[in-house]
Structure 1
Amino acid sequence: MAGKNPIAEKIHELTDRNLTFMHVCGTHEAAIARHGIRSLLPENLKIVMGPGCPVCITPQGEIDAALELAEKGCIIATYGDLLRVPGSNGSLESSGADVKVVQGVHKAVEIAKTTDKEVVFVSVGFETTAPTVAATLLTRPPENFSILSCHRLIPPAMDWLLAQGEASLNGFLLPGHVLVVTGLSEYRRFPVPQVVAGFEPDDILLGILMLVEQVREGAVRLDNAYPRAVFEEGNPKALEILHKVFEPCDVEWRGFPIIPKSGLKVREEFSAWDAQKKFGIEFKPTKKHAACICDKVLRGIASPTDCKLFGKVCTPRTPVGPCMVSHEGACKIWHHYHVKNI
């Protein structure tokens, strides 16, 4: 039962039908698992995972592109989470190449200033990280520095998920840190209940309660349960910088087809720092591991424990798919917190 948490008790009181809500945020999934939030919810209310882990949705073709750059003698700089994500033939970690783990793009620029070698920052992330990368390119970094842009935008993926209707979604729990940057307006077009939520347990429970209330009312709106950080206009300066350097493009997501206008490519005026153009690199489509169900997990139609490989062949030490690699990946989170299929 709901125990003594008054928000959870209210969710139990109001949930009178089968409901499925999706979050699109690895940080939300980590908090939900860590605090046992699913155990507080009614049995007929499901919280499923969407494509909210930027490392997880980076397709093999983009990992292969990074490996190709390494083979050309470039120093590859990126976040630690990306090192073990499998490409078609191994990972950055297993490549034997000169790969540097950095905490951000500014550290990659610092490396470029200390060497004559080409330094490529493999730049992943959603609207949260893209503005910092854009701001760095605006400073006109060294000529031997470039980025491999693997950025993604959340709303086009939501469009795709709703169009497919695979998970029979009743609403979305939106990622507070993304909407801190974007604001609310871009999400108002979606014809389902939505609530922006923070990352503390009560933030998440409040967001779920507000979704349940909308369903009960027969309402379709965007509510903000994170007003201490998210505002209607978002961060206009960050958005201005992002759009000055990047433009939307059609890209593949791991587990998804090519989604129109869902990626960010470097604008022509900043092409000197675009690794794809600089080195003639293409993102090529690849086949997934036949037994891995990361694609279904990312689309909210399967849980990690539905996978026959989970915790057996596929573990954080021996990951088969990207969802077992990143600290925001559902499989790694469930493995770490010993989550059972609920």
Structure 2
Amino acid sequence: MRFIDEFRDGELARGLAAAIRQHARGDRDYHFMEFCGGHTHAISRYGVTDLLPGHVRMIHGPGCPVCVLPIGRIDMAIRLVREAGVTLCSYGDPMRVPASGGLSLLKAKAALGRAGVGGDIRMVYSGADALTLAQRNPQRQVVFFAIGFETTTPPTAVLIKQARALGLGNFSVLCCHVLTPSAIASILESPEVRQWGTVPLDGFIGPAHVSTIIGTRPYEFFAEEYRKPVVIAGFEPLDVMQAILMLIEQVNSGRAVVENEFSRAVTRDGNRKAQDLVAEVFELRRSFAWRGLGELPYSALRIRREFADFDAERRFAVGYEAVADHPACECGAILRGVKRPQECRIFGSVCTPENPIGSCMVSSEGACAAHYSFGRFTDLAEAP
């Protein structure tokens, strides 16, 4: 464990905290967005914000693939099970994301059992589990509910190629893979959102796992075009603190470039083999709906026509229908960084990890779930 422990060393953390206080100028505020939910979780879990001066503020971004999944996509999956009678395979977190009519995949599964309907919903640990299920049950149509950013897209591409090589006619994928740069562009191009407010941003902490695939090159556009520094950082607390210090130094010196704190895993060009695999199996969608961000052009992937036999949307002719979020839920504002979780009036009361009303309370990488687990007691202590 020593390779992890050295990035959690308390003495080094105190030294970094002192350096941040020294470099952060007292005549200005700093607002940095950690895009990735993994960073949000680490910041909350290790109390990183408690080590920062008050004028250095971290803003939670939309970088949790479960959080940005819109209600309509969950509804599509449920319709596939109910109307087409498929066996839907999903990762654990999407099972709990709220859908229409008070449902979720988990609740829909329970209702199927009571009604004795032919379809089924199963939790899997990987897409390979879904492929194995299709092989063992040739009489069943098995659909893998594929979600995630660039990190999880290559494994889905492998699954589709394997299914074609095996000649599996009963396996397909409901593709909901989305792209990180498009979300960053949306936030930068619309910093003022009328119904929510203004998002002040001085720089970004770029995602770690995503960047191992796509590299640091795609972020250079944001630094050059929008004059916002980007630092790619690992998920350990010292990674995050070092990235904050690097961002402060860039802002102070008037620079806006991409720096790579996570050089032990990320390169400028990323994983070319994984990129080629994704390009072979997927192509850009013209538009895709994100929870909290709306319809974003060229922000997601779909399966190419060459692999259409394994595209659940084509095979079962199921379409997307937009559905509004719960009126009391502030997930949209939280995903854009306009509001903090504790500013939602149902946070921690009606909406909890055991009973999520919004998607940000589902995954441990969601801003609301992270703050509920690690930050809400600080709110109580600070209350007048």
Give the TM interval when normalised to the shorter protein: over 0.9
Distance in 2 (alpha carbons) for counterparts of 1:143 and 1:22: 44
| Contact 2:62-2:68 within 8 A present in 1 as well | yes
1:55 equivalent in structure 2 = 66
2:204 equivalent in structure 1 = 172
Q: Confirm or deny that 1:76 pairs with 2:88.
A: yes
1:91 equivalent in structure 2 = 104
Which among 4, 18, 26 is matched to residue 9 of structure 1? 18
Residue correspondence of structure 1 range 95-244 to structure 2 within 5 A? 95=108, 96-97=111-112, 98-115=120-137, 116-139=139-162, 140=164, 142-165=168-191, 166-190=198-222, 191=226, 192-244=228-280
2:33 equivalent in structure 1 = 22
| Contact 1:3-1:40 within 8 A present in 2 as well | no
**Aligned-partner SS, 2:93:** helix
Distance in 1 (alpha carbons) for counterparts of 2:151 and 2:13: 35
Amino acid at match of 2:147: V
| Contact 2:284-2:302 within 8 A present in 1 as well | yes
- Structure 2 gap ranges (5+): 1-10, 113-119, 192-197
Amino acid at match of 1:68: R
Distance in 2 (alpha carbons) for counterparts of 1:138 and 1:75: 20
- Name whichever structure is richer in helix by fraction: 2
Distance in 2 (alpha carbons) for counterparts of 1:269 and 1:314: 43
Amino acid at match of 2:347: F
Query: RMSD of the alignment, in Å?
Result: 1.4
1:324 equivalent in structure 2 = 361
Amino acid at match of 1:235: N
1:39–1:319 distance in 2 versus 1, CA, 3 Å: same
TM-score (norm 1): 0.97
Corresponding pairs, count: 341
| Cα distance per residue 1:42-81 (max 9 Å; x no partner) | 1011111111110110001100000001102111101000
Q: Confirm or deny that 1:281 pairs with 2:290.
A: no
**Aligned-partner SS, 2:221:** coil
Which among 51, 61, 76 is matched to residue 65 of structure 1? 76
1:258 equivalent in structure 2 = 295
Distance in 1 (alpha carbons) for counterparts of 2:48 and 2:85: 47
1:303 equivalent in structure 2 = 340
Distance in 1 (alpha carbons) for counterparts of 2:13 and 2:270: 35
Amino acid at match of 1:200: E
Q: Confirm or deny that 1:314 pairs with 2:314.
A: no
**Aligned-partner SS, 1:229:** coil
Distance in 1 (alpha carbons) for counterparts of 2:141 and 2:161: 19
Q: Which has the larger radius of gyration?
A: 2
CA-CA distance at 1:4 after TM superposition: 6.5
**Aligned-partner SS, 2:62:** coil
| Cα distance per residue 1:88-142 (max 9 Å; x no partner) | 1211111134211111111110111111111111100000000110111112152
| Cα distance per residue 1:242-268 (max 9 Å; x no partner) | 111111111010011110100111111
1:258–1:4 distance in 2 versus 1, CA, 3 Å: closer
- Structure 1 gap ranges (5+): none
| Contact 1:3-1:9 within 8 A present in 2 as well | no
2:8 equivalent in structure 1 = none
TM-score (norm 2): 0.87
Distance in 2 (alpha carbons) for counterparts of 1:3 and 1:270: 50
Distance in 1 (alpha carbons) for counterparts of 2:307 and 2:156: 12
CA-CA distance at 1:338 after TM superposition: 3.5
| Contact 1:179-1:234 within 8 A present in 2 as well | yes
Distance in 1 (alpha carbons) for counterparts of 2:60 and 2:317: 35
Distance in 2 (alpha carbons) for counterparts of 1:86 and 1:199: 28
